[in-house]
Amino acid sequence: MTSSNVIIAEGALKRLNDILEGYKRPLIVSDVVIYDKYRQMMESIVDADVMWSISPDYRKGLVSRYRGIDVIIGFGGGRSIDMAKLFALEAGLDWISIPTAASHDGIASDVASVMHDGYRYSEKCKKPSFILADLSVMSTAPRILTLSGIGDMVSKASSLAEWRLANELAGEPLDEDVYGTVEFALETVLKDDNLETLVKSVIDTGNAMTDFGSSRPCSGTEHAISHAMDRRMQSLHGLQVAFATPLSLHFLDEAGYAKHRPSDIRDFLLERNMPVELKELDLTEATFLDDIHHAQKIMKKRGRYSVLTHCKASDDDLVRAINGLGY
| Size of interface with Zn ion, in residues (CB under 5 A) | 1
Closest contact distance (angstroms) between CB of 177 and Zn ion is 20
Residue with nearest beta carbon to Zn ion:
152
Nearer to Zn ion, 53 or 210 (CB): 210
CA 123 to chain centre: 13
Closest contact distance (angstroms) between CB of 226 and Zn ion is 8
d(CA 186, CA 201): 7
Nearer to Zn ion, 16 or 304 (CB): 304
| DSSP code at position 218 | G
22: left (phi over 0), alpha (psi -120 to 50) or beta: left
Q: Does 152 bind Zn ion (CB under 5 A)?
A: yes
Draw the binding track, 12-51, toward Zn ion (x: CB under 5 A; -: no contact): ----------------------------------------
Nearer to Zn ion, 54 or 225 (CB): 225
Nearer to Zn ion, 26 or 78 (CB): 78
User: How many C-beta neighbours within 10 Å does residue 66 have?
Assistant: 16
Report how far apart the first and last C-alpha atoms of the chain are (Å, whole number): 39
| DSSP code at position 13 | G
Identity of the amino acid at 67:
R
Strand partners, 111: 124
Region of 147-155, 253-261, 270-278, 318-326 interacting with Zn ion (CB under 5 A): 147-155
Nearer to Zn ion, 74 or 78 (CB): 78
239 sits in which H/E element: helix 237-254
Closest contact distance (angstroms) between CB of 317 and Zn ion is 25
Closest contact distance (angstroms) between CB of 241 and Zn ion is 5
Nearest-5° Cα angle at 30, 142 to 155: 50
Nearest-5° Cα angle at 183, 112 to 202: 35
d(CA 84, CA 112): 9
Region of 33-41, 67-75, 81-89, 144-152 interacting with Zn ion (CB under 5 A): 144-152
Closest contact distance (angstroms) between CB of 104 and Zn ion is 5
d(CA 219, CA 290): 19
Nearer to Zn ion, 152 or 183 (CB): 152
Region of 26-34, 91-99, 146-154, 203-211 interacting with Zn ion (CB under 5 A): 146-154
Would you tell me which residues interact with Zn ion (CB under 5 A)? 152
